[in-house]
Structure 1
Amino acid sequence: MAGFWLFVIPSLIFCLLLVKVMVSKNNKKKKKRNTRCKLPPGSMGWPYLGQTLQLYSQDPNVFFTSKQKRYGEIFKTRILGYPCVMLASPEAARFVLVTHAHMFKPTYPRSKEKLIGPSALFFHQGDYHAHIRKLVQSSLYPETIRKLIPDIEHIALSSLQSWTNMRIVTTYKEMKKFAFDVGILAIFGHLEGSYKEILKHNYSIVDKGYNSFPMNLPGTSYHKALMARKRLKTIVSEIISERREKSVLKTDFLGHLLNFKDDKGRVLTKEEIADNIIGVLFAAQDTTASCLTWILKYLHDDKKLLEAVKDEHRALLKENSREKKPLTWGQTRNMPLTHRVIVESLRMASIISFTFREAVVDVEYKGHLIPKGWKVMPLFRNIHHNSKYFSNPEVFDPSRFEVNPKPNTFMPFGSGVHACPGNELAKLQILIFLHHLVSKFRWEVVGREKGIEYSPFPIPRNGLPATFLQHSL
């Protein structure tokens, strides 16, 4: 027994000395690294919580802007338990999202990843991300989405006509339904009505729980959302089985997912397909709905601009009525004022205010250290509302887009390999909706309440209550 301890004790001492040497070397490396460049300025706030309460108890734009004024265009803080570096310049956004994107990976809270699905496009980088992104883009090429125009027109007109039967319409809520129906069309084509309703019901539960506190206990919104997410997967699996049995080749998103094979002959699993379908639905709905809601508010508040937009669509309506034809792809490409209204609305509202990345290695940027594992947040809204790049940035002025903005100053759909691949479909459905809205309907905002609420995307307070009436130009 004594011999045993004579062997163990020296071994333990040796191990402790070895650990001490390794820690000492690591500390020396950190010290050497930190003498070369320093962390950005800023306050980390309280332990763990950091400045989360300050961010979520006020308008986040005020929070970010006050930080930028105090510390400059790069500053540090701690949000939701994570140390963060925030970047508020076009050059920095390009550095993170484009030129050095390999140093930063997409990052989302685990609770949100569970609801959308771990195989969804925007949780990945590398070969898998490139393959799925290519599938999304190929299903949304102009030659594909131009065929959807009659169906999108039908969805837009059906939505608008149903609103005339409502006493007061919560615009944002109804716009989400419109965007969801277009998303279903792009993903599945003409889907059976019963499937569509089941998908819509369960997705609404997931959507409601997405921004709730992630407590997985029976009765909580998050738990209900997880259960609805399982049902969504089951429904999508049934649709996949039916599509495979019929052996019908389709050019919708599901068709591209089902037909995919990589260089080694591997196909996508049902779980991967379901995750990416739910991910595309999520990406397509809220942002498009928010943008449309803001456009209605901006046009309602500027009657002169609204009349000019109506004039643009009067010409198209007369041409189509004379020739008895529906809206064409070419006409959607020839709505210059309406297009400027859309992009100015995207700038003003900055629906995607920022994005999350995580440094995968220690990164040096302009003499500042961004440590490995820290979150990095390019602040799109701060860039879009900077007077250096946009004069009178708080004024809604579509004419500013008569000339192209400076490079990297306008990023409503993100930038780089993770930029939104569905932006052309989003713009198309917005153009079609606005054409029929200003041509055949009028609307009045109800109440005088002003301000913005975040859910989490910025929308006019109370979702812009309004009344809709049908008329002709």
Structure 2
Amino acid sequence: MWTIGLCIVAVLVIYLSYRLNKWSNPKCNGVLPPGSMGLPLIGETLQLIVPSYSLDLHPFIKKKAQKYGPIFRTSVAGSPIVVSIDPEFNHYIAKQEGRLVEIWYLDSFSKLLTMEGENKKVFDFTAKLFISYDAENSPTKMSEKFTNILGGLMSFPLNIPGTTYHKCLKDKNEAMSMLRKIFKERINSPKRHFEDLLDLAINDMDKEKFLSEDLIINVVFGLLFASFDSISSALSLTLNLLAEHPAVLQELTDEHEAILKNRESPNSILTWDEYKSMTFTHQVINEAFRLGGVAPGLLRRALKDIEFKGYTIPAGWTIMLVNSAIQLNPNTYKDPLAFNPWRWKDLDSLFVSKNFMPFGGGTRLCAGAEYSKTFMATFLHILVTKYRWTKVKGGTIARNPILEFTDGLHIKFSVINN
């Protein structure tokens, strides 16, 4: 009897060892990038989703890159992934959309973002422009829904009650239901005044046959998510950095006060020429985006085996391009974790195109890039010309995985009396 039991245990150990070895050494028609795959199914997910409390690279990615080099393999949420902080490789892959790679999401990303914290006032303003959203009177607080959705982007895709992922799916579905309800109310209304993006889209449905209810709702959801994600985080970080660097704030204020002095009428609205003249403002915005790259990484899926620098990335594998590493490279930016807008004064356009990718690159360059920059410049213009402000408390940075402030960012504003 004991002999039979020992045999069963031995067979089980051999089988598990075989499965573990197979998991740790995936098949490849070449040489895989170095790295480790972690435990079966779980991989190294837990190490990657641990919050980071710095503007620097996530400790997991930094440690792996130091050990294995700028291109390494791992596994997240059951998917084999090649992670790259290599500028040359990242630029190459960004230009291969539709040829070697396609856009891709982990299960947690795809279920939250595909069809189916802070600065909430930025979000409410954008939602008003897109769908005439009334934040004060709406029974559904959409900013809270989007905050919860962000929290689940890198959660383990376990859809059972009590998990972060389950809650995020629930909040996403509630947000989508609200958008669908608004859409149906609009399309059934006898009068439409075309006052927001949703009205314009509905009006074009008769002329553009590709426009459907599902497409419009998902586009609006995507635009709301993009504005909540990038602008609110970047703007909060900018305010925090300005509060900690009074010399930067002073030069920023001087630039915008000069714009006011050069106007024929003090009550004129901000013009495009004035926006283009904001040299130092654009430097401040670039520096904030350089330090606060919002996305943890851009995800692509290899459509075929990819050869690069002696390594082979198998077809079907996920590729994570960590572009924030390019912007924090000490060989590229001196003292990379320092907030120094003046560094942009002498950087030419060629250097910037190769070493600054906060909005992605190639055919997948974020459509909201210029909107984000214009919004932030306009916000800063109004802020420094009409208000005085001080940071009261907060400002502790965390990436979870999106940039946020664990204790909020509390600011006191006062109107300038002219």
TM value normalised by structure 1: 0.72
- 2:120 is aligned to 176
Deviation at 1:92, TM superposition (A): 0.8
Q: Which amino acid aligns with 1:103?
A: L
- 1:291 is aligned to 234
Match for 2:144 among 188, 204, 216? 204
Q: Which amino acid aligns with 1:207?
A: T
Three-state SS of the structure 2 residue aligned to 1:332 is helix
Matched, 1:90 2:100: no
Matched, 1:107 2:104: yes
Q: Kindly provide the CA deviation profile for residues 206-251 of structure 1, in whole angstroms up to 9, marking residues without a partner as x.
A: 5314534555556766555545544444443444345445575849
- 1:376 is aligned to 319
For residues 429-448 of structure 1, the aligned pairs below 5 Å read 429-447=375-393
Match for 1:116 among 91, 100, 113? 113
User: Partners of 1:414 and 1:81 in 2: how far apart?
Assistant: 25
- 1:411 is aligned to 357
Deviation at 1:179, TM superposition (A): 3.2
RMSD: 3.1
CA contact (8 A) 1:346 1:412 kept: yes
Q: Which amino acid aligns with 2:66?
A: K
Deviation at 1:90, TM superposition (A): 2.0
- 1:386 is aligned to 329
Q: Measured at CA, do residues 384 and 357 of structure 1 come closer, stay the same or move farther in structure 2, by a change above 3 Å?
A: same
Q: Which amino acid aligns with 1:468?
A: F
- 1:50 is aligned to 43
Matched, 1:313 2:253: no
| Bigger mean CA offset, 227-236 vs 242-251 | 242-251
Q: Kindly provide the CA deviation profile for residues 253-274 of structure 1, in whole angstroms up to 9, marking residues without a partner as x.
A: 43564366799x7433212221
Q: Which amino acid aligns with 1:363?
A: I
Matched, 1:463 2:408: yes
Q: Measured at CA, do residues 95 and 101 of structure 1 come closer, stay the same or move farther in structure 2, by a change above 3 Å?
A: farther
User: Partners of 1:351 and 1:268 in 2: how far apart?
Assistant: 30
CA contact (8 A) 2:297 2:322 kept: yes
Q: Which amino acid aligns with 2:31?
A: K
Q: Which amino acid aligns with 2:95?
A: V
CA contact (8 A) 1:117 1:276 kept: no
| Bigger mean CA offset, 63-72 vs 287-296 | 63-72
CA contact (8 A) 1:86 1:378 kept: yes
CA contact (8 A) 2:205 2:212 kept: no
Deviation at 1:469, TM superposition (A): 2.6
The structure richer in helix per residue is 1
- 2:372 is aligned to 426
Q: Measured at CA, do residues 462 and 74 of structure 1 come closer, stay the same or move farther in structure 2, by a change above 3 Å?
A: same
- 1:62 is aligned to 59
Deviation at 1:322, TM superposition (A): 3.8
- 2:281 is aligned to 338
Q: Measured at CA, do residues 453 and 310 of structure 1 come closer, stay the same or move farther in structure 2, by a change above 3 Å?
A: same
Q: Measured at CA, do residues 351 and 461 of structure 1 come closer, stay the same or move farther in structure 2, by a change above 3 Å?
A: same
CA contact (8 A) 1:180 1:281 kept: no
Q: Measured at CA, do residues 325 and 183 of structure 1 come closer, stay the same or move farther in structure 2, by a change above 3 Å?
A: same
Q: Kindly provide the CA deviation profile for residues 135-176 of structure 1, in whole angstroms up to 9, marking residues without a partner as x.
A: xxxxxxxxxxxxxxxxxxxxxxxxxxxxxxxxxxxxx62x23
Q: Measured at CA, do residues 61 and 267 of structure 1 come closer, stay the same or move farther in structure 2, by a change above 3 Å?
A: same
User: Partners of 1:458 and 1:386 in 2: how far apart?
Assistant: 19
Deviation at 1:183, TM superposition (A): 4.2
For residues 101-250 of structure 1, the aligned pairs below 5 Å read 101-118=98-115, 173=118, 175-185=119-129, 187-188=130-131, 191=132, 193=134, 197-198=137-138, 201-202=141-142, 204-212=144-152, 216=159, 225-244=168-187, 245-246=189-190, 250=194
Deviation at 1:281, TM superposition (A): 0.5
Three-state SS of the structure 1 residue aligned to 2:316 is coil
Three-state SS of the structure 1 residue aligned to 2:58 is helix
User: Partners of 1:211 and 1:454 in 2: how far apart?
Assistant: 10
CA contact (8 A) 1:202 1:229 kept: no
Consecutive unaligned residues in structure 2, runs of 5 or more: 1-25
Q: Measured at CA, do residues 238 and 221 of structure 1 come closer, stay the same or move farther in structure 2, by a change above 3 Å?
A: same
Q: Measured at CA, do residues 200 and 426 of structure 1 come closer, stay the same or move farther in structure 2, by a change above 3 Å?
A: farther
Q: Kindly provide the CA deviation profile for residues 321-360 of structure 1, in whole angstroms up to 9, marking residues without a partner as x.
A: 8443122232222211011000011101222231111112
Q: Which has the larger radius of gyration?
A: 1
Q: Which amino acid aligns with 2:376?
A: I
Q: Kindly provide the CA deviation profile for residues 276-328 of structure 1, in whole angstroms up to 9, marking residues without a partner as x.
A: 21111011112101111111111111111111111111122334584431222
Deviation at 1:181, TM superposition (A): 1.4
Three-state SS of the structure 1 residue aligned to 2:222 is helix
Q: Measured at CA, do residues 193 and 342 of structure 1 come closer, stay the same or move farther in structure 2, by a change above 3 Å?
A: same
Using the aligned pairs only, state the percent identity.
Answer: 31
**What is the count of residue pairs matched by the alignment?**
382
Deviation at 1:439, TM superposition (A): 1.6
CA contact (8 A) 2:183 2:217 kept: no
CA contact (8 A) 1:203 1:232 kept: no
CA contact (8 A) 1:103 1:361 kept: yes
CA contact (8 A) 2:326 2:356 kept: yes
User: Partners of 2:158 and 2:48 in 1: how far apart?
Assistant: 21
